[in-house]
Amino acid sequence: MAPEKEIKAARPGPACVVWELTLACNLKCLHCGSTAGGRRDAELSPAEALALCEDLKRSGARGVALMGGEPLLRKDFFEIAARVRELGMELSVITNGTVPGEEVFARLAALAPRAVAVSLDAADPALHDRIRGVPGAFAKSFAFIERCLKAGLPVSVITTVHKLNLKELPALRDLLKGRGIAWQVQTAGAEGGRFSRDLLLDREEFYSVGMFVEACRRTYAPEVLPVIGAHDLGYHSLLLDNVSLYEKWEGCQAGLSVAGIRSDGGVMGCLAMNAPGFVEGNVREKSFTEIWNAAGGFAYTRSFTEDQAGPECAGCEHARTCGGGCSEMSLMKTGRLHNDPYCFARIERELFPEELPGPFARAALSARGRAAGKLARLGRFFSGKRS
Ligand code: SF4
Ligand code: SF4
């Protein structure tokens, strides 16, 4: 192992580490990218998990998002979450909100998390239950959300969109607005074993999700409906403001500002890239800090050069900073990296090139988005500081 000072100096730690505490899950969600259900072989023990918290802090990690499977199924969930906070890192929790436990809300509130994110895929309980694979899931998740709100927790709802629930977006908007719930809309990938590729959104449907988010953001003040698209929901649109929480897309952040840890200790740039070739090491063999700082690690983002762009992205003016879009989306759709066909710039160029504004009009549109100061106000809702 290299001396710690040398390791620490190598590069800044990740802004956020998404940590799959367990692959065990009580639901059977259609679109689950890791086909959660049973535990992985050899998941980290409670002692290993607590040691990993220290390691993450040492690496310079600023925030940790605990997810699963269903993280609340881990008996030591609160010990791990508390350690993250004691070490001064921000905490987010991503849960399906169906695991009972009256004490959960007060214990979560005591940890002052940045967000408690609950999955909700439809306003129609029967459809949500069908997507989540268990009857009664909607009622439990919605009751969980209401209890969290009562406990003063910063609640987010995550909706994962595919062909079965695309039409649910307006009903979900009506269900969520005015409740102080931050809403993140994302699209499903096809990595999971329960999901049929036939359910993936086509490009027009994908773009319509961006249009929906933009329409909501123009219609409602962030205080009424704080809604964002996931960070990988399209980029470099010439017509829409960036639908994510950021002013512009700066490329896939896997291994740059984010990292993922599987419940067996495998370290990845992003857990969405559910393929063995993207595991950079295991915390049982090397510390996270060493893996994060290893020379040549996470090469697909850290060492990207424009000439690696695939045919979908070759020649694009944004290729150098964009890196060819979301790595997971690119792999899933085209079988290779740096080649995302679901990019708003590309979709617009191909589907309605005559609609696109020139650079002058674009600058005015962009200034409009910034002048509204909406990103800063939205940011409050997604950072746990809502008042
Ligand atoms: S075409 Fe490729 S490189 Fe260009 S903005 Fe889209 S994803 Fe990025
Ligand atoms: S692979 Fe996609 S989802 Fe993962 S960090 Fe990169 S852009 Fe985000």
Place of tokens 């906070």: 85
Closest atom of ligand 2 to 273 CA is 1
Ligand 1 mean position, distance from CA 370 (Å): 23
Per the DSSP assignment, residues forming a β-bridge with 183 are 157, 227
Burial grade of 8 (CB within 10 A; 0-12, 13-18, 19 or more): middle
Ligand 1 mean position, distance from CA 236 (Å): 8
Place of tokens 């060492």: 303
The sign of the dihedral angle between the CA atoms of 310, 330, 207, 210 is negative
Q: What is the amino acid identity at position 326?
A: C
153 lines ligand 1 (CB under 6 A): no
pLDDT for residue 32: 86
Reported as a single tens digit per residue, the pLDDT across 190-206 is 888 888 899 999 999 99
Reported as a single tens digit per residue, the pLDDT across 257-281 is 999 999 999 999 999 998 779 999 9
Q: Output the residue whose Cα is nearest ligand 1's atom 5.
A: 318
DSSP code of residue 37: B
pLDDT for residue 368: 57
Ligand 1 mean position, distance from CA 40 (Å): 35
Query: Does residue 229 have a cis peptide bond before it, meaning omega lies within 30 degrees of 0?
Result: no
Per the DSSP assignment, residues forming a β-bridge with 94 are 117
Token pair of 113, please?
Answer: 């998390």
pLDDT for residue 363: 65
Ligand 1 mean position, distance from CA 321 (Å): 9
pLDDT for residue 359: 65
Mutate to test the pocket of ligand 2, among 185, 268, 328, 339 (most ligand atoms within 8 A of CB): 328
Ligand 1 mean position, distance from CA 316 (Å): 6
Smallest Cα–Cα separation from 144: which of 99, 190, 176, 184?
A: 99
Q: Output the residue whose Cα is nearest ligand 2's atom 4.
A: 270
pLDDT for residue 243: 80
pLDDT < 50 stretches in the chain: 1-6, 8-9, 371, 387
Closest ligand to the CA of 329:
2
Q: Determine if the pTM surpasses 0.75.
A: yes
pLDDT for residue 366: 61
252 lines ligand 2 (CB under 6 A): yes
pLDDT for residue 365: 63
Q: Output the residue whose Cα is nearest ligand 2's atom 6.
A: 252
Smallest Cα–Cα separation from 87: which of 3, 17, 156, 7?
A: 17
